[in-house]
Amino acid sequence: MRASRIDAFLMTQNVDLYYYSGSMQTGYLFIPSIGEATFYVRRSVERAKLETAVRVAELGAFRHFGQTLRNDYGALFGQSEAGSVRMAADLDVLPAQTFLKLSELLTSSGRCELIDGSAYIRRQRMIKSAWEIGRIEAAAQAVAEALDASLHELREGVSELDWMARVEYELRRRGHIGLMRMRGYNQEIATGMVISGAAAAVPSYFDGPAGGLGLGAASPQSVSRSIIRRNEPILLDVGCCIDGYVIDQTRTAVIGALPAHLMKAYEVSETLIQAAERQMMPGALCSKLYEDALAGCAAEGLADHFMGFGPDQAKFLGHGIGLEIDEWPVLAKGFDIPLEPGMVIAVEPKFTFPGEGVVGIENSYLITEQGPRALTRSKTGLIVLP
C-alpha cells in the first residue's frame, strides 16, 4: 500500500472480508497503511469477535460512517489539509449505489479520493499459502470420492438432475458448503455441470465452453431434466468448496462409445492439457499458453469448436481458483502475467459440437519451482461405462 501511495484500503465484499479478516460478517474492513485495522460490523458483532483477530467495532448508522472513520483515524484524515487521502476499495464488486454513498460520506468533510484497488487484491490472492493449498486439496479429494461413489448410478435413462443430486449428496457428506463463489458480475455457478449430449452444447450466459439447458429461464445453465442416453458425451464438470476454497475439474464419460469425430476431439483435449503441463513453469506467460493451445486446435482442424462454438466461444484456456472460481491469473490473450510458484490454475481444454455435446478435460494445478503439480485426484482418461 505504501509503495503504491495508498493510505487505506476498504474491503466490502464477503470473500474479501473473509480473506483479510477471517470473518464473513456484514460490514466494512478498514485497513490503514500504518496502524491497526478495524472491522466495522453491522451484523453480527458478537460472531465477528469470535472469528477474527482484527479489532471489531459496531458499524452503527451508515450515514455516520465517514465521521466514524475520521474520529478513529484522526491522524490519517488530518492529512486531507495537505492533500487527499487515497483510499482503495474492491470497486470491481462494489455496487454503484454503495460506491456513490461511500464517496459522499467520505468526502463530506475533508478530501478523500476513493480509487479502485481490486487489482491489488486479485494479484495478492493469486499466490496461495500452504493452508489454502491444503483446503483446495481437501476439496479435490472430496470430488474424487464423490464421483467414485456415484458412477455406478450413471446409466442410460437417468436424468442429469437425478444424477447430479446423487453427486451433491456425496459431496455434502464430505464437507462441501453447497455453493461455488464467483467474482464476475451476474456470473453464478452451483456445484457444477453434469450435462449430456446436445443439452451440453446449448449456449448460455455463463462464460464457459458448456452451457446446458438448466431448469428454465430463471436458471438457464447446467443440469436439466434431460435423459442420459447411450453413445453420447456426458460432461462431468464438478467442483467442491471446503472451508471456502474450491476445486474445479472435468471428466468426460460415455455409456457405450463416442462417435469417431468426438473421440478425436476428446483425445486432442488430453494432448492440449499435457502440452500445457509441460509449459507451466515459473516465468511462462499466461497468454502464451493460450496462444499455443489455439495453434494446436487449428492444426487439428478444431479451432471452430474450441471452448464453445461460433460467437459463444469462451476466450481462455484456464483460470485461477481459490476462494472464487474465476480468480487470477487467466490463461488468455492479453494476460501477460508470468506464472509464479503458489498460483493454482484450472486448465480446461474442451470442444463444443452443437446438437451433439461437449467433450474435454479439466485439471487444477499448483505452480511450484519445479513445475505444475496436479491437485485433481480423479483418474484421467475417458470414462467408459457399460
Tally of CA atoms within 13 A in the half-sphere of 257 that contains its CB: 4
Q: What is the pLDDT of residues 352-379, one digit of tens each?
A: 999 999 999 999 999 999 999 999 999 9
> Looking at residue 283, what is its pLDDT?
98
**Assigned C-alpha cell, 142:** 472430496
CATH 3.40.350.10 fits 8-124, yes or no: yes
Among 328, 121, 135, 351, smallest CA distance to 242 is for 135
Residue range 276-305: mean pLDDT, rounded: 98
Amino acid at position 210, single letter = A
| Sequence ranges of the chain with CATH classification 3.40.350.10 | 8-124
Sign of CA dihedral 51, 57, 58, 60: negative
Sign of CA dihedral 348, 353, 354, 360: negative
Amino acid at position 95, single letter = P
Among 253, 282, 258, 277, smallest CA distance to 369 is for 282
Q: What is the pLDDT of residues 147-172, one digit of tens each?
A: 999 999 999 999 999 999 999 999 99
Q: Where are the alpha helices (DSSP H) in the chain?
A: 14-21, 45-51, 65-72, 74-77, 96-107, 118-126, 130-150, 160-173, 197-200, 260-279, 286-299
**Assigned C-alpha cell, 10:** 476498504
Among 125, 132, 93, 92, smallest CA distance to 14 is for 93
Instruction: List CB contacts of 296: < 8 A, sequence separation 6 or more.
Output: 268, 271, 272, 275
- The H or E element containing residue 345 is strand 344-347
Q: Using the structure block, give the residue that is written with the C-alpha cell 480446461.
A: 348
Q: What is the pLDDT of residues 189-213, one digit of tens each?
A: 888 889 999 999 998 998 889 889 9
Please state the pTM of the whole predicted model.
0.95
243 near 173, Cβ under 8 Å?
Answer: no
109 against 293, higher pLDDT: 293
Q: What is the pLDDT of residues 93-114, one digit of tens each?
A: 999 999 999 999 988 756 888 9
| Sequence ranges of the chain with CATH classification 3.90.230.10 | 127-385
CATH 3.90.230.10 fits 127-385, yes or no: yes
What is the C-alpha separation between 167 and 133, in angstroms, rounded? 23
Taking CA atoms, 71 is separated from 31, 65, 84, 239, in Å, by 15, 10, 17, 45
Q: What is the pLDDT of residues 209-227, one digit of tens each?
A: 988 999 999 999 999 999 9
What is the C-alpha separation between 120 and 207, in angstroms, rounded? 24
> In whole angstroms, how large is the CA radius of gyration of the chain?
23
